[in-house]
Structure 1
Amino acid sequence: MTRVAFITGSGRGMGREIALTFAKKGYRIIVTDVNEDNANETVALIQESGGEAFATVCDVTKLASVEAAVNVAKEQFGQVDVLVNNAGWDKIEPFLKSEPATWETIMNINLMGQIHTCKTILPLMIEQGYGKVVNIASDSGRVGSSGEAVYSAAKGGVIALTKTLAREMARHKINVNVIAPGPADTPLFKEIGEYNQGITEALIKAIPFRRLAQPQDIANAVAFLASDEAEYITGQTLSVNGGLAMV
């Protein structure tokens, strides 16, 4: 049976690399993103390499949008076997200079978005008798990160959510795990503003492997946790950070 992967925020960056990696492994992909053009670009890349994919707009902050996207997935492929909660956003700034509107956006995308998708897709997995969920958190949710107080809180919430769902879903043989990336060379990292200038070089010096993570590094780890080789792994948080934090 060909598995179907529903990947949020897969219109660019790390999410796109995850989608391409899964497609190479034979999955059919539901590419979801708030930006339709980006989602279509990812689908085109998958199709060029001989894979099968379909794009749909999904704003993870809105439960109705998630439900609509999942309905599209069911119409196109009839099932959802793997959920990868990749969609995320951050604005790096000192906490005392941050504003409530920013807090709300960060929490809605990074935490509520994953709650929405899990609430919608887990019942399908239970009905199918099969499912793998890989939530993308961050090492900031484990050890904190200056300038990312609310983001760290949201990602810490993702880790706690994952552990609880792993316990609740174990009776249904559904695996729920977390990938916690360290600093990664993604479009989001390049867009996070003036506060980040000069930090990249410092991070590279601090990382034992002396480089930022590449999207493929993260995608490989996600693919492992979504595979049948990881069927006895659940409720775990796997850091992919080049040794920057060892927790």
Structure 2
Amino acid sequence: MPDTVDWSGEVAFVTGALGSIGGAIAADLAARGAAVATCDMPDKAAPPNARCYHRVDVAQSAEVDAWVQAAADICGAPTIGIICAGLSIPGRLTEASDADWSRVIDVNLTGAYYTARAIVRQMLIAKVPGRLVFIGSWAAHAPHPQIGAYSASKAGLRALVQTFALELAEKSILVNEVAPGIVDGGLSRELFRRDPALEARTRGAIPADRIIAPEDVARDVAFLASPANRHTTGSVLVSDGGLSLASVMNPGRHP
């Protein structure tokens, strides 16, 4: 069904826009008619259809504040904020170094806070209604021993989302989370291409028998970021094909 909502007055700021998910989100919002400002860490060209791109380490509040101000000067005050920047460093919690733990928490949780805070401040100055969508993970409620710091950061992110939602509802700023399962992007995509058997085993563990595409995540984000969304806030849209519902005893699929 085509999107009949008018996005032409929307200004979206997207972090992590050079990643698989962030890139798909930025492209989707631009295709719908929103003006899109993006940031990420690498020194690369802006994603297609982005109005502007800046190199930003979201773990540094001064860099985040400077980007949000510069993007607002170019594109106008944000009406949409997509907090997508994130990373994962594999390893069990008992073996993680202080540096690895800190970097994951700094980017995934503290960086998300810095970004949301800066975007919300611009919304409040401009006195515009807005939507924030954080990219969380099913790992927030389904712990992963090999990516413990990531799971902890995403669990904290969920509390951050809900607290922002409660604080900002009276300002007509709606705050939600999209929590994907296993996405065919980034490191997962590299591993799947190297090991097709791993991809088959992974797909076999998902009750819906399908690994999520970045474009699927983008559509979920657009649903919550849409100007047609006037009431949904503090919600978590879990998009994992039933993966977090399944168990060894109840896999959700017929043998």
TM-score by length of 2: 0.87
Query: Matched residue of 1:36: which SS?
Result: coil
Q: CA 1:66 to 1:197, structure 2 compared with 1: closer, same or farther past 3 Å?
A: farther
Give the aligned partner of residue 53 of structure 2.
55
Contact 2:79–2:128, Cα closer than 8 Å, also in 1? no
Give the aligned partner of residue 123 of structure 2.
125
Give the aligned partner of residue 222 of structure 1.
221
Instruction: For structure 1, list consecutive stretches of 5 or more residues without a partner in the other structure.
Output: 47-51
Count of aligned positions:
236
Give the aligned partner of residue 108 of structure 1.
106
Same amino acid, percent of matched pairs: 31
Structure 2 residue 96 is the aligned partner of structure 1 residue 98: yes
Aligned residue identity for 1:80: P
Give the aligned partner of residue 13 of structure 1.
20
Q: What is the alpha-carbon distance in structure 1 between the residues aligned to residue 187 and residue 228 of structure 2?
A: 31
Q: Deviation string for 1:197-227 (max 9, x for gaps)?
A: 9754332111122221100010000011001
Q: What is the alpha-carbon distance in structure 2 between the residues aligned to residue 168 and residue 225 of structure 1?
A: 18
Give the aligned partner of residue 67 of structure 2.
69
TM-superposed deviation, 1:78: 2.1
TM-superposed deviation, 1:191: 5.8
Give the aligned partner of residue 34 of structure 2.
27
| Structure 1 residues 104-183: aligned runs within 5 Å | 104-127=102-125, 128-183=127-182
TM-score by length of 1: 0.89
Structure 2 residue 204 is the aligned partner of structure 1 residue 205: yes
Q: CA 1:198 to 1:154, structure 2 compared with 1: closer, same or farther past 3 Å?
A: farther
Could you list the structure 1 runs, at least 4 aligned residues long, displaced by more than 6 angstroms after superposition. none
Q: Deviation string for 1:7-29 (max 9, x for gaps)?
A: 00001311000000000100000
Give the aligned partner of residue 36 of structure 1.
43
Q: What is the alpha-carbon distance in structure 2 between the residues aligned to residue 177 and residue 211 of structure 1?
A: 24
Contact 1:208–1:243, Cα closer than 8 Å, also in 2? yes
TM-superposed deviation, 1:190: 4.1
Instruction: For structure 2, list consecutive stretches of 5 or more residues without a partner in the other structure.
Output: 1-7, 247-255
Query: Matched residue of 1:125: which SS?
Result: helix
Contact 2:137–2:154, Cα closer than 8 Å, also in 1? yes
Aligned residue identity for 2:231: Y
Q: CA RMSD of the aligned region, Å? A: 2.0
Contact 1:89–1:188, Cα closer than 8 Å, also in 2? no
Q: CA 1:66 to 1:12, structure 2 compared with 1: closer, same or farther past 3 Å?
A: same
